[in-house]
Amino acid sequence: MTAPFQHPFDDTQVAQLQAELGTTLDYEDLTGRFARLDGDLDAVITEVLRIRLADINAGPTTFSIPGEYSQDASAQQKALEARLGLSGETAQALVNIARSEYSKPEYRALDTEERTVRRSSWRARGR
């Protein structure tokens, strides 16, 4: 039987990590970052927050399916930008990079039913 994973963080460091990153943490991942970043806990926190911001920036900030579901990540995006000390131009540059270089659109063939629905919705809009 394998022993449970033991992270190198003391109680104060765990409290700081949870205060900055939330209570659901991957301690194995954080331990690797902690070792790679020479034990700098602030650098670990900053790196994780920048990755979270990059994930938000790589996709649409808002989207919705009328009458079904909507999602808006703009508040989280603004909060992460503020926490990381990013100004408007710097933050927008990161969004542009994430959306252009790293998020290539996926293309797939539409089945017959999807084509019919799309055609009828275009006709309804007068196009």
The set of residues, in sequence order, having a beta carbon less than 8 Å from that of 67 and lying 6+ positions away, is none
For residue 57, which of 29, 86, 19, 37 has the smallest C-alpha distance?
86
Q: How confident is the model at residue 16 (pLDDT cuts 50, 70, 90)?
A: very high
pLDDT at position 18 over 60:
yes
Do residues 53 and 84 lie in contact, with contact meaning Cβ atoms separated by under 8 Å?
A: yes
Compute, in degrees rounded to 10, the torsion defined by CA atoms 44, 47, 53, 58.
-140
**pLDDT for 113:** 58
Percent of the chain whose predicted confidence (pLDDT) is above 70:
65
In terms of C-beta density within 10 A (0-12 exposed, 13-18 middle, 19 or more buried), how is residue 34 classed? buried
pLDDT at position 81 over 90:
no
Residue 34 belongs to domain spanning? 11-101
Whether 119 is covered by a domain: the verdict is: no
Give the number of domains in the chain: 1
Whether 24 is covered by a domain: the verdict is: yes
What is the CA angle 77-78-81, rounded to 5?
A: 85
Mean pLDDT of 40-66: 86
pLDDT at position 125 over 90:
no
**pLDDT for 116:** 54
Q: Length of the chain, please?
A: 127
Place of tokens 């449970």: 4
pLDDT at position 99 over 70:
no
pLDDT at position 57 over 70:
yes
**pLDDT for 119:** 54
Whether 61 is covered by a domain: the verdict is: yes
